[in-house]
Amino acid sequence: MKKLVNFLISMKFAISILFLLGLASIGGTLIAQNMPKEFYLANYGDFGNVIWFVGLHKTYTSWWYIGITILLCISLLLCVVVRIRPIILLYKKGGIKLASAKIGSWILHMGILVTILFFSLGNIFAFSSSVYNVPGTTTIAEGTGLKVDIESFDIILRSDESVETYRTKAKIYDENTDELLDEGLIEVNHPMTVRGYQFSQASFGFAVDAQIKKDGKEIGEAVLFESEYVAADEDKIYVQMTKLYPDVELREDGIYNASQKLQNPMVEYTAYYLGRAVKQDLVELNKDIEIMDYTIRFKDARHFPVLDIRKDSFAIWTGLGAMMLLAGIFIAFYGPRENKKEE
């Protein structure tokens, strides 16, 4: 048991763990996080599948990153506990001048432990939600007391047509008073923070306007997101948009999506009458679909952003741990020392 403890608190073990965490964190920094699989395939080719399989698209919540972090916490906790008695004895022997370096080292280790502990608790217990809608709309962010006005959404492409970033222009208002609290651009890895709530660019989707007419008279209309539906005629008929293909190429082996640009969009849909599926097909925009007395039409396809919302109640304690870490470094290197004559 003693050998195991000595190994876990050894500098060799700590450096190895920190090296692994450093490598993982570099990957988490360089690779955009929490994006749809299509984003990684478009930007990294076949390596995008590796990123998705290994979990580099959600580095900081992957099982292997959490496992490495737990090992580091065990090592730090043992270091903190094991060093208490020697520090006390050293202080009694020579006072603060003799023990300051050891005290600084102890505070440094405690600071790292506190930082990791509350950072992890923040991830586990943080408020987490999302908001989405088409540009030009204002949506209440449930549970936050805020509402989001999505002014525009753009997919920024590189010269080779691969995706560089997603960009949402938004304004954040107080839900009750309509006071403008902040406005600006929300991009991948560049969130907007309002009242402790962090709004991050998470993903995107497609939406269309769906219209249902009966005998030439409009009886139902709604903005449809993928997998949503619009009902009409006392719910006798409803239409679900299963999927939208933005740039369709029809081939013998099936449907091929050439890009994420809305260049040749087609809608895959299912129509139901009295709860029974009566038609399922792929249709172009602005083309009438005739079903009995009803006429269905999809029009005005566009992208919409999905914004993640997060609030970490433990952020202050995480910051306290970081301050302890810095204080430990300062005391360890610049604290009071006995001069050579006294030694």
The rounded percent of the chain whose pLDDT value lies above 90 is 47
Largest CA distance in the chain: 104
Spatial contact of 208 and 221, defined as CB atoms under 8 Å apart: no
Q: What type of residue sits at position 310?
A: R
Q: Give pLDDT tens digits for 94-142.
A: 888 888 888 998 999 899 899 988 988 887 788 889 999 999 999 999 9
Q: For residue 92, is pLDDT > 60? A: yes
| Two tokens, residue 166 | 């997603």
CA distance 201 to 292: 43
Q: Give pLDDT tens digits for 180-211.
A: 999 999 998 899 999 999 999 988 999 999 99
- The H or E element spanning position 295 is strand 294-311
- Where are the extended beta strands (E) located within 192-292? 192-194, 197-214, 217-225, 229-232, 237-245, 248-251, 254-257, 266-273, 276-284, 289-291
Spatial contact of 201 and 195, defined as CB atoms under 8 Å apart: no
Question: Of 281, 249, 289, 242, which is closest to residue 265 (Cα–Cα)?
Answer: 249
Sign for the CA dihedral angle at 35, 39, 44, 50 comes to: positive
Mean pLDDT of 293-299: 94
Chain centroid to CA 216: 45
Mean pLDDT of 301-310: 93
